[in-house]
């Protein structure tokens, strides 16, 4: 099956002229290029299908290359393919063909309708009119998912080779958690798999910047970091990963998916974060790892 992105890039790597710091930024869910064939497959209107987007997150963090750090960003939408899942985390009920035995069809994410190829978008709205073929899944996973992770691994490997350490900042957004009147609901959630994927120095600095800006920050609840954070965050190998979830209410209208008046402020805040992170002296983390060995 020909790729839905045969005539344009499904994602892109934006490199600085010179990488000046051991950070890699990743925006896997902000894609908004919806292929025509996918639009024909969905039962949803053009606004409903976008409810799963981490809309504009790539723009919030978009100046990372200007500060000397590469950025990988998706153009394909999350509703089409979720690269923050295992490669073959699929729901058999979505497909007309039997799925191979080695596919993970029983995970909690699949049960929730949010596998590598999602069954639903927000508000539990079903995406597809009819069942998909195995060839469709293979086209998306082999042709887009795997190259995306190859590109991400390549960025981290290059960074590790050049600096002796690499830090992945996985950039996301989340729905407003205060909709039920929970005054303590966080505006920002930092995920490091409960301290297992990232040195506290990096998470603490991020926490401090957002807290100082008057935002409520939570750690690992309700988002502890997904497949990407868990897979790439290996501090014992000098690779750290931190997932950042920014409340969409801080910068956009969650119903119309339009930027609000606070967008520029949040963009400036993320730029401050990038600037602070790249100035961190991470040599001590390398020294700590060498001492542990």
Quick: pLDDT tens for 31-63. Answer: 999 999 999 999 999 999 999 999 999 999 999
Helix ranges (H only) for the chain are 36-41, 57-60, 108-111, 134-140, 146-163, 200-212, 227-232, 263-278, 283-292
Confidence of residue 288 (pLDDT cuts 50, 70, 90): low
Mean pLDDT of the chain: 95
pTM of the model: 0.96
Burial of 281 (0-12, 13-18, 19+ CB in 10 A): exposed
φ and ψ at residue 31, rounded to 5 degrees: -65, 140
Q: What is the model's pLDDT at position 286?
A: 73
Which of 3.50.50.60, 3.40.630.40, 3.30.499.10, 2.70.98.10 would CATH assign to domain 11-292?
Answer: 3.40.630.40
CA-based diameter of the chain, in Å? 57
Helix (H) or strand (E) holding 46, with range, is none
CA–CA separation, 68 and 24 (whole Å): 10
Q: Show the beta-strand stretches assigned E in the chain.
A: 11-14, 23-27, 71-74, 120-121, 125-126, 166-174, 188-191, 217-219, 239-247, 252-253, 258-259
The distance of Cα 62 from the centroid of its chain, to the nearest Å, equals: 14
Cα–Cα nearest to 178, from 114, 243, 244, 254: 254
Tell me the per-residue pLDDT of 122-134, one tens digit each, with 9 for 90 and over.
878 999 999 999 9
Q: What is the model's pLDDT at position 181?
A: 62
191, 224 contact by CB (below 8 A): yes
Residue 124 has what DSSP assignment?
Answer: G
Q: What is the model's pLDDT at position 177?
A: 87
Sign for the pseudo-dihedral over CA of 268, 274, 276, 279? negative
Domain ranges of the chain: 11-292
φ and ψ at residue 219, rounded to 5 degrees: -115, 120
């Amino acid at each position: 099956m020909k790729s839905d992105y045969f005539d344009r890039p499904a994602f892109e790597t934006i490199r600085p002229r010179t990488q000046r710091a051991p950070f890699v930024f990743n925006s896997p869910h902000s894609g908004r290029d919806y292929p025509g064939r996918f639009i024909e497959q969905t039962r949803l209107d053009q606004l409903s299908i976008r409810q799963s987007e981490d809309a504009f997150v790539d723009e919030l963090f978009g100046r990372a290359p200007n500060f000397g750090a590469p950025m990988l960003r998706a153009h394909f939408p999350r509703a089409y393919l979720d690269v923050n899942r295992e490669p073959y985390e699929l729901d058999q009920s979505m497909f007309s063909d039997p799925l191979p035995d080695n596919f993970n069809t029983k995970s909690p994410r699949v049960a929730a309708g949010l596998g590598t190829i999602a069954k639903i978008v927000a508000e539990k709205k079903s995406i597809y009119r009819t069942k998909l073929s195995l060839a469709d899944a293979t086209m998306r996973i082999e042709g887009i998912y795997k190259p995306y992770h190859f590109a991400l691994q390549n960025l981290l490997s290059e960074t590790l080779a050049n600096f002796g350490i690499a830090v992945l900042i996985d950039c996301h957004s989340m729905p407003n958690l205060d909709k039920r009147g929970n005054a303590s609901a966080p505006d920002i959630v930092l995920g490091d798999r409960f301290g297992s994927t990232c040195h506290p120095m990096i998470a603490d600095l991020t926490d401090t910047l957002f807290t100082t800006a008057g935002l409520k920050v939570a750690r690992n609840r309700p988002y502890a970091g997904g497949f990407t954070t868990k897979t790439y965050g290996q501090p014992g190998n000098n690779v750290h990963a931190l997932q950042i979830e920014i409340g969409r209410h801080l910068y956009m209208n969650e119903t119309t998916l339009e930027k609000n008046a606070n967008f520029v402020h949040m963009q400036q805040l993320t730029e401050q974060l990038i600037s602070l992170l790249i100035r961190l002296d991470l040599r001590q983390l390398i020294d700590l790892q060498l001492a542990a060995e």
